[in-house]
């Protein structure tokens, strides 16, 4: 079954049929909201809105462990995370799509592992390639089939938020090699790897990052939501193609 984590601008997943809400508890507390179980194009999916009902949970307060655990407990082996991001690379402007292949983590103070003290022996997962390559390739194929151009790689910088970055911070992220910046990619990706999920992200660029392009002077937060909402139809088209490529 495909698990879908909805981000900003994808509050609901239209097109899911026979949807049932399932409120669950995990050993790590409650996920952001009820899981939505249904079918998309006849294939089973489980959907979870990362920011909760009404988009009320900020990135640094999301219970990432509960979210990933809940999807795993529903037997979602494959997970696609929808992520609204700022574009650092000049060609990644508002409305662009990307399937990142690398991550740099700048977050802090987030619980970032299931392997906490007292929960078994010290464990270090491999994270050389943070995203599941087969899911990345399926996402790229799905985007092509949906007629959406998506950058086939990119380094995602995960920042703490909830504020946007300064222009100098974006300069630093760029020198570090980042192409996209968002606030929720970590620890989500690492937790998915810890549970053995095949996880990749579909990034939707909703603004030029601070100090770049049209965001040279300032970023108007209300515009991010508008761009994300405008992209929702294309996101859904990609997901409809993806479920048909999804292995199980």
CB-nearer residue toward ligand HPA: 143 or 164: 164
Residue range at the interface with ligand HPA (CB under 6 A); choices 46-54, 66-74, 177-185, 187-195: 177-185
Residue of the chain from 84, 150, 227, 243 that contacts ligand HPA (CB under 6 A)? 84
Give the per-residue SS3 of 139-188.
HHHHHHHCCCCEECCCEEEECCCCCCCCHHHHHHHHHHCCCEEECCHHHH
Distances 160 to 21, 89, 213 between C-alpha atoms, Å: 30, 20, 23
- Total residues contacting ligand HPA by CB under 6 A comes to 13
68 in contact with ligand HPA (CB under 6 A): no
Residue of the chain from 6, 9, 52, 86 that contacts ligand HPA (CB under 6 A)? 86
CB atoms within 10 A of CB 189: 27
85 in contact with ligand HPA (CB under 6 A): yes
CB-nearer residue toward ligand HPA: 164 or 243: 164
**Which residue in 105, 125, 102 sits closest to 113, CA to CA?**
125
205 contacts: CB under 8 Å, gap ≥ 6: 85, 86, 87, 92, 93, 94, 95, 96, 97, 98, 180, 227
d(CA 92, CA 88): 7
| Nearest-approach distance from CB 166 to ligand HPA, in angstroms | 11
70 in contact with ligand HPA (CB under 6 A): no
CB-nearer residue toward ligand HPA: 196 or 221: 221
Terminal CA-to-CA distance of the chain, rounded, Å? Answer: 6
CB-nearer residue toward ligand HPA: 45 or 183: 183
Binding flags for ligand HPA, 109-148, as an x/- string (CB under 6 A): ----------------------------------------
206 in contact with ligand HPA (CB under 6 A): yes
Question: CA triplet 104, 108, 113: central angle to 5 degrees?
Answer: 80
Residues making contact with ligand HPA (CB under 6 A): 84-86, 159, 164-165, 181-183, 206-207, 209, 224
């Amino acid at each position: 079954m495909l698990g879908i984590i909805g981000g900003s601008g994808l509050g609901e997943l239209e097109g899911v049929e026979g949807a049932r809400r399932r409120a669950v508890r995990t050993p790590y507390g409650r996920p952001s909201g009820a899981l939505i179980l249904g079918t998309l194009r006849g294939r089973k999916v489980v959907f979870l809105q990362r920011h909760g009902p009404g988009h009320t949970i900020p990135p640094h307060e999301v219970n990432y462990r509960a979210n990933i655990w809940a999807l795993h407990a529903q037997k979602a082996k494959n997970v696609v995370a929808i992520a609204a991001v700022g574009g650092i690379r000049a060609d990644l402007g508002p409305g662009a799509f990307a399937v990142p292949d690398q991550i740099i983590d700048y977050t802090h103070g987030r619980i970032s592992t299931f392997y906490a003290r007292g929960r078994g022996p010290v464990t270090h997962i491999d994270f050389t390639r943070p995203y599941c390559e087969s899911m990345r390739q399926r996402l790229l194929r799905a985007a092509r089939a949906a007629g959406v151009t998506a950058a086939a790689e990119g380094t995602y910088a995960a920042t703490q938020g909830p504020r946007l970055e300064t222009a100098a911070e974006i300069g630093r992220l760029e020198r570090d090699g980042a192409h996209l910046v968002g606030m929720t990619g970590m620890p989500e990706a690492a937790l998915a790897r810890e549970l053995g999920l095949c996880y990749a992200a579909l990034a939707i660029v909703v603004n030029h990052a601070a100090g770049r392009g049209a965001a040279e002077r300032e970023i108007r937060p209300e515009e991010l939501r508008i761009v994300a909402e405008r992209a929702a139809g294309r996101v859904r088209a990609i997901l409809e193609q993806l479920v048909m490529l999804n292995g199980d």
